[in-house]
Amino acid sequence: MFLNRKNQPLIGLDISSTSVKVIELSKTGPRYQIEGIGIEPLLDNAVVEKKIIEIEAVGESIKRALHNAKIKNRNVAIAVAGSSVITKIITMPVSLSEEEMEGQIQLEADQYIPYPLEEVALDFQVMGKTKQNPKTVDVLLAACRQENVDDRMAAVELAGLLPKIVDIEAYTIESIFSSLAFQLPDGYNKKTIAIADIGATMTSLSVIQNHKLIYTREQNFGGKQLTEEIMQHYGLSLDEAELAKRQGGLPENYTPELLNPFKETTIQQISRFLQFFYSSGEGNDAIDYLILGGGNACLPNLVELAELQIGVPTSIAKPFINMSASKKVNKATFESDSPSFLIAAGLAIRGTKYQ
């Protein structure tokens, strides 16, 4: 949202706390095709709580991901974490042009943004007429510190990419929902869908109604907590613990002593998110369906535990369910990682609109 928009095809790039994920899509009619896809781990602490600490290390990981995915396109869409962004709905006269709105927002922005304006990246989007007043429109104002944008742009430029869009991670979920919808029961258009993205250090909840994002919230919690417990409990390195968590081979006491308590905590976090949603007044209806995304969505029996304790039908995110793959892509290779591609795929879907 923070850069000028151009009609160009874009790669979707997600920079998380533990890896970078890239995906390039094409679109024929309503169907998407994966033209290239890759994931590359990051050095420990290169990114901390979605803030880039080691720009060069991140740039190198992006470069390797692009090389391994055989992606030649240089135009990219990236996103900043929702926790670093201030959003606010304001009203403006319906008669204003977009240029006039921009000028007015620049004049009035200091009353909405608690940072010096020279340190801020600012953008807006007209959402539609105000329900209570047809003479005004609702405008979504988004702002974050310029350094958050600059660090991401610097990393992708080191990898030889040209950043064309900087979006907000939460709003990429709205884009990917068109693909996730294929895994939902009929009639989802009239339902309220919650998507919990359980990452390495951050978990977010997004609530979708009628294909629109109506609520989002983030919390510092994720799978790295379980990895660190495995490290301490069994005397492993971080890499060894992460590999053991993903591939198995840990002692029998791992499940009752570490895994089960972590899964319980994960479901408690999601339940707390939902309580915040219900108390926010953003939605009038209870959640009808829950989708689990992120790298930790595939923990054994997490879906069943969520259904039991939260009480709604639950499934693991399948963003590629209705996508084909080009000949150079082995789609099956990425099936186990597909729940962690929500942000990257959402950015790439948005990128197909710029071809």
Can you give the CATH number for the domain in which 99 is found?
Answer: 3.30.1490.300
Would strands 133-145 and 85-93 be described as parallel, antiparallel, or unpaired? Answer: antiparallel
Confidence category of residue 1, pLDDT binned at 50, 70, 90: low
Domain assignment present for residue 167? The answer is no
In a domain, 73, yes or no: no
Is 163 part of a structural domain of the chain?
no
Give yes or no: residues 192 and 138 share one domain. no
Q: Residues with Cβ < 8 Å from 11, sequence gap 6 or more?
A: 22, 23, 24, 36, 66, 71, 73, 75, 76, 77, 161, 347, 348, 351
User: Is the pLDDT higher at 186 or at 7?
Assistant: 186
- 204: nearest Cα among 41, 81, 22: 81
Position 53 in a domain: no
| Residue at 178 is within a domain | no
- φ, ψ at 328 (rounded to 5°): -80, -5
- Report pLDDT digits (tens) over 272-320: 999 999 988 776 678 999 999 998 999 999 999 999 999 999 999 999 9
Q: How far apart are CA 349 and CA 91, in angstroms?
A: 29
Residue 213 lies in a domain: yes
Cβ pair 168, 87 in contact under 8 A: yes
Read off the pLDDT of residues 47-67 as tens digits, 9 standing for 90 and up: 988 889 999 999 999 999 999
What's the CA gap between 1 and 78, in Å, rounded? Answer: 10
Same domain for 300 and 221, yes or no, is: yes
Same domain assignment for residues 253 and 197: yes
| Residue 231: CATH number of its domain | 3.30.420.40
Residues 220 and 270 in one domain: yes
Instruction: Say if residue 125 is in the same domain as residue 207.
Output: no
Strands 31-41 and 19-28: antiparallel
Tokens of 35: 């033209």
Provide the domain count of the chain.
2
**pTM score, whole prediction:** 0.88
Q: Which residues of 261-271 are buried (b: 16+ CB within 10 A; e: fewer)?
A: ebbeebbebbe
Residues 135 and 219 in one domain: no
118 plus 212 within the same structural domain: no
Same domain, 111 and 190: no
Does 79 map to a domain? no
Residue 262 lies in a domain: yes
Indicate the helix (H) or strand (E) that contains 308.
Answer: helix 302-310
Domain span at residue 95 reads 86-146
Do 127 and 190 sit in the same domain of this protein?
no
Give tens-digit pLDDT for 112-153: 787 777 888 888 888 888 888 888 998 888 888 888 899 999
